[in-house]
Amino acid sequence: MIVYACPGQGSQTPGFLSPWLELDGVAEQLAAYSEAAQVDLIQHGTESDADTIRDTRIAQPLIVAASLVAERQLLERAGRRPDGIAGHSVGELAALAGAGVISADDAMRLVGIRGRAMADAAAHTPTGMSAVLGGDEEAVLARLEELELTPANYNGGGQIVAAGALPALAALAEEPLRGTRVIPLQVAGAFHTSYMASAVAALRDAVAGVEASDPEVTLWTNRDGSTVSDGAMALSYLVDQVSSPVRWDLCMASFAEQGVAGLVELTPAGALVGLAKRGLRGVPTVAVKTPEDLDAAVALLNGDAA
């Protein structure tokens, strides 16, 4: 079983879409996605600086669009879909499209709404997120509770992302637990926490008119790492996920239990492959960062990898 992993917010970098625009049809694809998301993806993916594309309204559509572009290229070159797919946080929208639950255009429309709603929610109170690397999980969770921070992402591989008020995150960094490192993340709010309640309501209204089909490939949910066979339920989970923890650790555990034999991380790739190398030791991986990585991904998909 070969699976796709669709990355989440923070994986974007300035100019990362430039090499993709050299491929036939990608400019037209991104223009359509720009209209659906109400974001100029070509400008922001080629010209905008790091501060600009850090904006949640821009970052989320950029990331989902990039995954969908890579997904289409792989389908055309490999002649097949993956056996399964999962997305990390906002990457779940790309995963739902890749599994055939919703259309790519619906995914882009919804990610535009999601990004704007989460940015608006974050603007109400200054909050942020920091990755805690290493340490004993129980001790880390106890420290977060002491500081009134929320474990927003359980990423596996010894990484938990804390979210909440900026003074509390500063205290976490100033006095890290023994054996841990604290890395502030370039995001604008405490995503996947109760701070995002208004964004949940906005996204729930948006999905009400979306037609959902049952997945055509195995689809995992960040809710608890389980597989979802009902498309409407998968869409409901995606809405709830905006204010609930991302359980990527449980997704990886489920990959292992189901005998995943390879993982391809879609664009903009890198972070999830890094987690897989620690959490899925021995499983071959390919990070599709640029079009030059497509051949390696096709080889893994079709069983031709060295």
Residues 6+ apart with CB under 8 A from 97: 68, 71, 103, 104, 106, 107
Q: Do the beta carbons of residue 245 and residue 8 sit within 8 Å?
A: no
- What's the token pair of residue 146? 């002491």
The span from the CA of 198 to the CA of 201, in Å, is: 5
Asked if 198 is an active-site residue, the reply is no
Q: Catalytic residue among 11, 44, 192, 254, which? A: 192
Q: Which two tokens stand for residue 38?
A: 């109400």
The reply to whether 124 belongs to the active site is no
CA separation for the pair 99, 216 (Å, rounded): 5
CA distances from 276 to 43, 86, 258, 273, 291 (A): 32, 13, 15, 5, 21
Active-site hit among 11, 34, 48, 89:
89
Spell out the residues 6+ positions from residue 200 whose beta carbon is closer than 8 angstroms to its own. Answer: 239, 240, 242, 243
Active site residues: 89, 192
